Amino acid sequence: MATNSRSFPPRFVWGVAAAAPQIEGAVNVAGKGESIWDRLALRPGAIHGGDSLAPACDHYRLFKKDFALMRWLGVKNYRLSLAWPRIYPQGDGPLNRKGLDFYHRLFDSMAENGITPWVTMFHWDLPQSLEDRGGWTDRVTVDAFARYADTIVSEFSGQVKNWITLNEIRCFTQLAYGPTGRKAPARAVSPQLLNQTYHHAILAHGQGVRAVREHGGKGARVGLTDNSDICTPLFENAADIAAARQWFRRRNEHILGAIADGRYSAAYLRRCGTDRPVVAKGDFDIISLPTDFLGLNIYAGTFVRAGRDGSPEEVAINATYPKADSSWLHWHPQCLYWGPKLAAEIYGHKTLYITENGCGYNDDTPNDQGEVLDLHRREFTRAYLRELHRGIGDGVPVKGYFHWSFMDNFEWEDGYTRRFGLTHVDYKTQKRTTKLSAHYYSEIIRANRIF
């Protein structure tokens, strides 16, 4: 592929992404159980503005219209998640057949619109009943997830061939059970139990892989979506690149490293000390089951350079550095070059997908002509895709890209104040308005190139 053509390889996968708890609404409809995010929304001050997950985008009722809109935009791949509490309301109790029936109807509608599903088994909405018994600090959640994974893969094997086990382990462990965690359940635990949540998460990932191998049928594929700690070398010289590689390996060794190596590194266990996780016999046989791809959710990262002794040194951004309206999301297009490149080089992945990339603002409002001219999102997308294109030209094995998100939605603890969508949602009327960025991305999909 000519690196200056701005064309992407043939059969490159272009898609959009969303998650069940952020768009479905219908939080207590047709037997759905309570999730930890439903419970957190009841806690005063936990969610901006006192917002909740209902009705969100009311996708539960409007999915046919949403898929017709995707088809109109030329979207042929959609990464979505299933709501665990909609299928097992108590996490591991009785099965809710109405929940399964809903997703059958949803997948049928996708097929009618020529859209291929990429299904995430778990996107943070743990059944509250499991959290009441310890959540991710307790092995009961791993066992419940294994049963849930067996159920959904068996049930939907005829409609789904692309499976993702978990979305962003750090967000439902470190940022949920850590000392400053604000994500559900927002419950601080001891350092040892926090390390245990990481272990239980990667063990659940392994159980998801096992479920696909046993029940997925012919052509089924499975991988993990990780929000790896991403860095880029401050300068693309040998010293800074070596420092970035060292930083990346250390910061991701408890998740990507443990899965790839089938063990925890000696360095990681030394840092844990007496707070190291408890590992049962056979755990790593499951954790290290081979996958078909790795998904990376990449938005921003850390600039790293070589210190005087060659060790990694982080370079802080200043207060005026360009950012989106989410404080954590500074513009860092080089992440889409260096993130996949380092993951492939260090862990040997042969197939990568960018399973999320996008930007959140709170000023996406229709003008007097009814247009949403989100120039900032268009330029963000263009800049990041140029870096992704550069990486592919240099041999980084990225096979697809999913824009986050198809439409504005419930943005976790920020409530409805951050809009990541290509499509504007009026939450009072549920009217959808495609933004400038949606039409820009639609042209990219149709032409398979950046403009």
Give pLDDT tens digits for 70-102. Answer: 999 999 999 999 999 999 999 999 999 999 999
Residue 1: pLDDT over 80: no
- For residue 370, what are the contacts with CB-CB under 8 A and spacing of at least 6? 433
DSSP assigned state of 77: E
363 against 317, higher pLDDT: 317
- Calpha distance 84→38 (Å, rounded): 13
**Complete domains list, the chain, with CATH:** 13-447 (3.20.20.80)
Beta bridge partners of 322: none
The pLDDT, as a whole number, for residue 3 is: 46
Residue 362: what pLDDT?
86
Does the pLDDT of residue 2 top 60, yes or no? no
SS3 letters across 384-440: HHHHHHHHHHCCCCEEEEEEECCECCCCHHHCCCCECCCEEEECCCCEEEECHHHHH
Catalytic residue (choose from 24, 34, 168, 411): 168
What global pTM score does this model have? 0.97
**Band of residue 4 on the pLDDT scale cut at 50, 70, 90:** low
Q: What is the mean predicted confidence (pLDDT) over 257-268?
A: 98
Q: What is the pLDDT of residue 118?
A: 99
Which percentage of the chain shows pLDDT scores above 90?
97
pLDDT averaged over every residue in the chain = 97
356 is catalytic: yes
> 3-state DSSP call for residue 265?
coil
User: Residues 349, 293: contact at Cβ < 8 Å?
Assistant: yes
Residues 6+ apart with CB under 8 A from 114: 71, 76
Dist CA 427 CA 375 (whole Å): 22
3-state SS, residue 191: helix
379 is catalytic: no
| Whether 409 contacts 66, CB under 8 Å | no
User: What CA–CA distance (Å, rounded) separates 306 from 241?
Assistant: 8
Q: How far is the C-alpha of 419 from the C-alpha of 409, rounded, in Å?
A: 7
- Per-residue confidence (pLDDT) for residue 438, from 0 to 100: 98
Coil, strand or helix: which one is 281? Answer: coil
Cα–Cα distance for residue pair 45/413, rounded to 1 Å: 9
| Identified catalytic residue from 155, 253, 356, 411 | 356
Beta bridge partners of 178: none
- CA-CA-CA-CA torsion for 383, 387, 392, 395, nearest 10 degrees? 170
Structure token pair of residue 178? 């850590």
